[in-house]
Structures are given as structure tokens and as C-alpha cells.
A and B are shown apart, each in its own frame.
Chain A
């Protein structure tokens, strides 16, 4: 089995059938390099099924799941040695404390004891659970358990991270913190493969997106390419907020005439929504141009509309 130098996961004609129901149909997908890939699709599309096959929780009916070139089914230990996974929302033995549960994972993964102790304290601090390190997990809320699950997935500094709706059960602050953690992982040269229902979350943190429906891969490409190819008018949307009211001339003439801008709408006197075509470069120049206007811009936030348009145009049913 060949070993690639950069982290990779590959599904080769992956299928999963439960009797007459096909959960996954000939999925072929290769993701390589340090990036975050969002895995989108409606309920029952096959997202979790795919992730479960990659983590040996279920077996493929046909095809192969390779991690760094190693077949998960044939050599699970080697394949998952470099993987941290959070699939669904696992429960932790209720009588254990987070320190003990994470020590168990550290021992399973072969972290030296001293290193494990430091890493546990660091990762638990990162997920904001340091005050609960020595309390029994059985008393934790769903969100607190999910934070420990995230810590467990990241404990051994895996080069491939698979996350199945990681922000499930978390409060808005928790969701934001998880997004920050994933962004940091990208900086540390990790490959993150993340399923999510939250399109804005994917848009915010992912570089690429794979969409799946009825067990079939619909598209896999860079986020900007996907949105420009499939969204209704191919446009992206940003919302800007201002510290003072903006006049009509600035909206209708100055902003509307900027490069790539297809339309501008005023949401309220201090908020406008700008539709523009093109990818990241156009977004960057738009931001620069708006800043140069000195109109009191206090936020510039891409919305999920483009990705939402894409999603809605590709995926017709919810089940």
C-alpha cells in the first residue's frame, strides 16, 4: 500500500446497503493535503455512514476506505493511528472523570505518560473544561460531554480529523469555540473532514465542500468554485454593518459600481447586503474598496447565501 506524504483520505467505490436500502452508492472521493473539507447533505444522505466506514464502526458492502493509503478494514490500527474522530455524540463511561477518560485514549494511542498529562490539561483548557477535569462525566450536560469528545479526538495531535456534526449540543459560544479550534487545526497542517448541517459554519471554516445526497456524491470542489458554479446567479453575499447611516448615493452608485458587484440592497439604514460574483479575490478587493470608502464599516460578514443557494439547487429533498 503506498504511503502518501500529505494526509489523505480516499473512498474508492464505497457502497453500503442495508437490505434493499442503499445508504451509500459507489462513493469515490479523494481528499489530500492540509485543509478543511465540509461534508454536506440532507438527513439520511450518507454522511455519517461514510464517516463510520472510515472509522470502522460499520463495514462497507463494497469498495475501500483508505486513510493515508491504508485500508481501514484491513489494517484498522495503522489506518486510524493518525486519525482523531468524533462520530455522532459518544457517551463516556459515566464513572470516569475527563482526566481518566482522556488518559485512557492517550494510553490506547501510545502517548508517553508525561506528555499525555500535559496534553490532557492543554486540550481540556482549549475546550474550556479545565474546571471539570476531575469531576465524573456522568453529571455533565450534553454540551460538556461533546467538549470532552472533541478533546479526545484532538488529544494525540492527529493529522487527519473526522468530525461528524461537531457543534451538535453546544451553545453558541461553544459552537464558536469549536470553529476556532478547527481553524487552528488548518494552521497546524491537518486535514479536517467535517460533516455539518450548518452551512454558515462550513462556509466560515472550510476550504472545500463535498455534497452528498441519496448516498451519491453530487459535487466536490473548492467552496468558491462550488458556489459560483451552482448557486442561482453564481453570486456570493456579504453583509456589512456600519456605525452610521449610509446615504443612497453611496449605496446605489459607489458600491454598486464596484468590481464584481451584481446588486446591493439596504437591509436597514446601517446594514447593507452586497451580492457579488467571483471567488475569494473579488471578496478581498471588495473589502478593501469598502474600507477605503470610510463609511464607518464595523463588520464585513460573508453570509451562507451562496452556499445555501448551491445546496438548495443541488439537493431537492430533505430525506
Chain B
């Protein structure tokens, strides 16, 4: 009855599996399909449009001097002050439960039992989150430039493109970080909560306390590194300076571009590696 070497079985044994790179592409593709059909993509899109709409309306109505003094001031105030928030929201929306959801929602059981490395799943999902977030950033930068052209013509300063590059690097680091926390927890709500607290309050509080009380440069805080996104839109580029009001020295730290790039890259590399190790070792119990 049994014919273990029948042509069908032999053919199965000879079937070649796609490369891990190809499998990463597959995961990315279907994760994006899932994103674009999900409510959260449109919620984030609406939030981005609301932020842009509010800025457009307020600047158009009140014409604040800070915004309309110069082209660079406009982009500093419009883009520089808003994009870190848009990036953090994207990180939370797309990265917050990306890995933990695989455990909590049991979608991981559909994928992990297949012949693909867990790293392919992790990287594929990370790339999908990066692409979806980049679309958000792209929409925001397009609206920003549209308003800039309305007020100042087609004279878009080169610093905006530098800032955009740094913003994308910040996005990479934020997603690395959110994926790390997502790998750390099996509960989606826990990983999202920790990410929200850290990025919306935690890092800024740590930065303020360290600079305010200890007078130490907070080179280990990701939001300090992200300062290059706004700093590059100031002319001249800000430098660290010590003020002495009433004889007491107070240092205002300004991250330099090489420092900022190093901090953001460092955050990305360390959290990506740790997150990947955690996901590789995590068990579907």
C-alpha cells in the first residue's frame, strides 16, 4: 500500500524553498496588505491630517510671526516641532504590538510552523511598519511643503531635506525600539502602554531631569539624539552653551549632527538585535 518513493513524494522532497530574503519580502507584502485594510492605518492617517489641518488653519488665520519670519523659521516651527510626534505615533501604531500581537492574537501560530526563520518574520514585519510609517511621514512632508510653497514660493531650503533624512533615521530607531518592547511582552496592551509612556513622557522627563539637575549631556536618550531633526533647521546650528544667570551655571545642551546620528543608529542597532534575540527565544506556550 505504501509507496514512499512515489514520484509525488520525491517531487516534494526536491522542492526548493525560497531564500530567507524572499520570505522577508513575502511577510512584508502581506503585512502591508493587512495594515492598509486595517482601521489603525486610517486612524493614524486621520490624526496626521488633523495635525496638518490644524496647523494650516491656525497659521493661515493668525499668521504668527514665529512661523512666517523666514523660510527656515517656517519649516522649523511647522515640520520640526510636529514630525517627532508623528513619528512616535507611527512607531506606537505600527510597532507597539507588531510582535506581541503574534502571541496574544495567536496569528503567530499560523506563520511560525512554516519553513521560515523567525528572523524573516521579524524583519518582514519591521519593514512593513517602516514602509507604512514612511507613507505617513511622506504625507506630512507633502502637506508641509505645500504650505511652505504657499507662503514662501518654491524656495524649499536644503535643510528641510536634511531634516527629513534625520526624521527617517529617527523613525528607524523608534521602530527598532518599539519592536524590541513588542518582543519583550506577550501582551499587546502592555507593549503599547510601555512604548507610549516612554516616548510621550519617559524620555523627555529623563532628559529634563538629567540636564536640569545633573547637568550631564543626555547622549543616551533617544529623544535627545532626535534633536538634530529640529536643530538642523536653525541658522546658525545651535551649540551647547553654559548660561550663568545669577552666578549659577546652567548648561543647555545641543546635540551635534554626528552625535545625533550615532545615538539614533546606536538605538536602532542595539534594540533591533535585542528584539530579534528575544523573538527568536520566545516560546509559543
Within 8 A of A (CB), among B93-135: 105-117
Contact B33 A95 (CB under 8 A): yes
| Complex CA–CA separation, A82 to B9 (angstroms) | 9
Across-interface contacts of A108 in B (CB, < 8 A): 18, 23, 26-27, 111, 114-116
In this complex, what residue of B is CB-closest to A148? B110
Contact B17 A109 (CB under 8 A): yes
Nearest Cβ distance between residue A112 and chain B, in whole angstroms?
10
Q: Which of B4, B33, B37, B107 interacts with A92 by CB under 8 Å? A: B107
Nearest Cβ distance between residue B141 and chain A, in whole angstroms?
27
Interface residue? B2 (CB, 8 A): yes
Interface residue? A225 (CB, 8 A): no
Contact B3 A77 (CB under 8 A): no
Q: Which of A33, A35, A87, A90 interacts with B107 by CB under 8 Å? A: A90
In this complex, what residue of A is CB-closest to B116? A108
Q: Which of B1, B2, B16, B110 interacts with A6 by CB under 8 Å? A: B2
Within 8 A of A (CB), among B223-274: none
Contact A189 B3 (CB under 8 A): yes
Across-interface contacts of A18 in B (CB, < 8 A): 285
Interface residue? A7 (CB, 8 A): yes
Interface string of B15-36 (1 = CB under 8 A from A): 1111010110011011101100
Nearest Cβ distance between residue A200 and chain B, in whole angstroms?
23
Contact B109 A110 (CB under 8 A): no
Interface residue? B284 (CB, 8 A): yes
Contact B30 A87 (CB under 8 A): no
Within 8 A of B (CB), among A68-114: 68, 76-83, 85-96, 100-101, 103-105, 107-110
| Complex CA–CA separation, A109 to B22 (angstroms) | 11
Selected interface stretch from A55-63, A166-174, A213-221? A55-63
For the A-B complex, the count of residue pairs with Cβ-Cβ distances under 8 Å equals 139
Contact B17 A189 (CB under 8 A): no
Given A58-B283, A109-B17: A100 in contact with B5 (beta carbons within 8 A): no
Interface of A is mostly: loop
Contact B33 A85 (CB under 8 A): no
Q: Which of B4, B30, B283 interacts with A33 by CB under 8 Å? A: B4
Contact B2 A33 (CB under 8 A): yes
Interface residue? A149 (CB, 8 A): yes
Selected interface stretch from A152-160, A231-239, A244-252, A307-315? A152-160
Interface residue? A34 (CB, 8 A): yes
| Complex CA–CA separation, A48 to B12 (angstroms) | 26
Interface string of A121-140 (1 = CB under 8 A from B): 00000000000000010000
Within 8 A of B (CB), among A40-73: 52, 55-59, 68
Across-interface contacts of B110 in A (CB, < 8 A): 90-93, 101, 149, 152
In this complex, what residue of A is CB-closest to B105? A91
Interface residue? A5 (CB, 8 A): yes
Contact B106 A88 (CB under 8 A): yes
16 additional contacts (CB under 8 A) given A87-B109, A157-B12: A6-B2, A7-B4, A55-B112, A57-B109, A58-B283, A68-B13, A79-B115, A90-B109, A93-B34, A96-B37, A105-B114, A107-B22, A108-B27, A108-B115, A110-B18, A159-B12
Q: Which residues of A contact B (CB under 8 A)?
A: 5-7, 18, 33-35, 52, 55-59, 68, 76-83, 85-96, 100-101, 103-105, 107-110, 136, 149, 152, 156-159, 162, 188-189
**Which 8 residue pairs across A and B have the least CB separation, nearest first?**
A6-B4, A90-B109, A95-B37, A57-B284, A90-B110, A85-B113, A55-B113, A80-B115
